[in-house]
Amino acid sequence: MSSQPLKSLCRANRIVERLVEMKAASVRELASEFDMPLSTMYEYINTLETINYITKGSDGRYRVSSFFLEIGNQVRRNCDIYTVAEPEIRRLAEQTGEFAGLMIEEDNLGVLLSMKKGEKVKRLQVNRTYPGVKSRLNTTSYGKAILAQLSDEEIRDVINQYGLYPRTENTITELEPLLEEMELIRQRGYALDDEECFDGMRGIGVPIISKEDDLIAGIALYGPPNRLTDDVFFEEYPSVVQEYADIIQGNLEY
């Protein structure tokens, strides 16, 4: 028998999420945001401050505390794939000079665990590439590498859940072409993102699979098309990313 979620807990979570968006707010501002009596909002704020979820600044406004950063880092360190893959992701970025990242799947979404910058992209900023950010699996190279390990029926379920909305004009937005690409990824062992998630960025993703054939994660290399030219993108770098994936896979087994 399924139970209904606690409304007060859900509301507290929404308050924290909204406070992140607002960066800082007074109790009165938050009460107005949620159309809530001031006295009730005070109760939520006092509780959230007591458990260290939020903190009060010298200006009297509240902000989300660094406690979530501590929790997030601990969750990440608890992932075996992160501790094993992190050194290799760094080396991949150093060798190529580009972006290198690690993604896991959670609730049929991709969760970025790590993103490293090589020398060529030190000053390049790309939106939503920080640890913890979630994305639909069909929009990134490591996401597609993960998605391709599922059956077509499972892929349909994922797409029914999250849709195929475009991120760029190159994003695959129809199911049948996506399933065709999934089969191609299974055959060649890696996935390509040709400016499908971000304009001006190409990516090559490879799945990390245990010796029991369990899907664990995906790693990817990303860079701009002027450096990831067709020869590099289609011919040179897929084997490089595969090599690092093999190293990570091997290290996981020992």
pLDDT of residue 185: 97
Fold designation for 7-65? Arc Repressor Mutant, subunit A (1.10.10)
pLDDT of residue 84: 95
pLDDT digits (tens, 9 = 90+) for 182-225: 999 999 999 999 999 999 999 999 999 877 767 789 999 999 99
Is the confidence at residue 141, as pLDDT, over 60? yes
Nearest to 196 by CA among 153, 233, 231, 241: 233
Nearest to 238 by CA among 199, 194, 196, 198: 194
pLDDT interval class at 124 (50, 70, 90) = confident
Percent pLDDT > 90 in the chain is 90
Is the confidence at residue 161, as pLDDT, over 60? yes
Establish whether domains 7-65 and 72-252 are of one fold: no
Average pLDDT over residues 235-244: 97
Is the confidence at residue 2, as pLDDT, over 80? no
pLDDT digits (tens, 9 = 90+) for 63-78: 999 999 999 999 999 9
149 touches 179 (CB < 8 A): no
Under 8 Å CB-to-CB from 157, ≥6 apart: which residues?
A: 108
Fold designation for 72-252? Beta-Lactamase (3.30.450)
Average pLDDT over residues 146-155: 96
pLDDT of residue 55: 97
Q: What is the mean pLDDT of the chain?
A: 94
Nearest to 178 by CA among 148, 201, 157, 206: 148
pLDDT digits (tens, 9 = 90+) for 102-111: 999 999 999 9
Nearest to 68 by CA among 47, 51, 86: 51
pLDDT of residue 213: 67
pTM: 0.89
Residue boundaries of the structural domains of the chain: 7-65, 72-252
pLDDT interval class at 254 (50, 70, 90) = confident
Q: How far is CA 232 from the centre of its chain?
A: 25
